[in-house]
Amino acid sequence: MDSKNWRNRMQPEWYSEAVKKVISDLPGGYEEAVTWIGKKESKDREGTTVDSLFNRLRSEGDQILPLGWAIVLQKAGGSHHVAHAVARASGGYFIPGGEVTEIDNSDINEKLLEAFEQVSRYSEVFRDAVKDGVMDKQEFEQLKDELYLAAAKLQEHLNLGSRIFSPSEKVNAPGCSPERSVAINIQRGERGDKSA
């Protein structure tokens, strides 16, 4: 097996591109990234350098960047590029969560406006792609990106609305009626065993 095929299987290009976006979002770029994942201070110590980080992300390299590092960098920069890339590669959508206490009706409405804006962007890109009567591969890929973003924004809106306005579910497994629950009986001052 040649090294390029090995590397593409172990670290697909979409993953490397997502990590590069994460690093670009950091105010200090690659210099800041190595401080988040452990900067190498001297030759005899473990750590990462800017050059070794570049090597892990170049397409012809023989090293890979661990997913854990990508998640650390993503959290540091407050982005979701890697999460979106993994979700897309898996045929799904990444929908960021949040604390319900931090969300109000204006946040939900704002998310819907963001979704409308993204649908409008998708429509513009589609119109431009087909105005010459042909949709090339690059235009199709850009449309897939815009469609993904629109669907994710709509799903995020629904998720927020559900978290605020849907009653929480109470789950009671079959055969676990309150009378049979040891925890509830102990709480009531009863013991589950007859020996006492």
Q: Name which of 160, 29, 149 is nearest 81 in CA terms.
A: 149
Question: Any idea which of 33-47, 52-66, 163-177, 182-196 has the lowest mean pLDDT?
Answer: 182-196
Helix (H) or strand (E) holding 140: helix 137-165
Asked if 82 and 22 count as a contact pair (C-beta separation under 8 A), the reply is yes
> From CA 110, how far away is CA 180, in angstroms rounded?
47
Question: Any idea which of 56-60, 125-129, 147-151, 175-179 has the lowest mean pLDDT?
Answer: 175-179
Mean of per-residue pLDDT scores for the chain: 81
What would the mean pLDDT of 108-115 be, rounded to a whole number? 90
pLDDT of residue 122: 96
pLDDT of residue 84: 92
pLDDT of residue 58: 86
Asked if 77 and 88 count as a contact pair (C-beta separation under 8 A), the reply is no
What would the mean pLDDT of 44-71 be, rounded to a whole number? 85
pLDDT of residue 102: 65
Residue 191: left (phi > 0), alpha (psi -120 to 50), or beta? beta
Stronger pLDDT, 52 or 173, i.e. the higher one: 52
- Cα 140 to Cα 21, 93, 122, 130, 143: the distances in Å are 21, 19, 11, 10, 5
Confidence of residue 170 (pLDDT cuts 50, 70, 90): low
**Structure token digits, residue 49:** 């350098």
> From CA 129, how far away is CA 132, in angstroms rounded?
7
> From CA 99, how far away is CA 93, in angstroms rounded?
19
Confidence of residue 135 (pLDDT cuts 50, 70, 90): very high
What would the mean pLDDT of 17-27 be, rounded to a whole number? 95
pLDDT of residue 181: 45
Asked if 11 and 67 count as a contact pair (C-beta separation under 8 A), the reply is no
Q: Is the pLDDT at 192 greater than 60, yes or no? A: no
What would the mean pLDDT of 40-59 be, rounded to a whole number? 82
For the ranges 1-15, 85-99, 135-149, 158-172, the one whose mean pLDDT is highest: 135-149
Q: Is the pLDDT at 48 greater than 90, yes or no? A: no
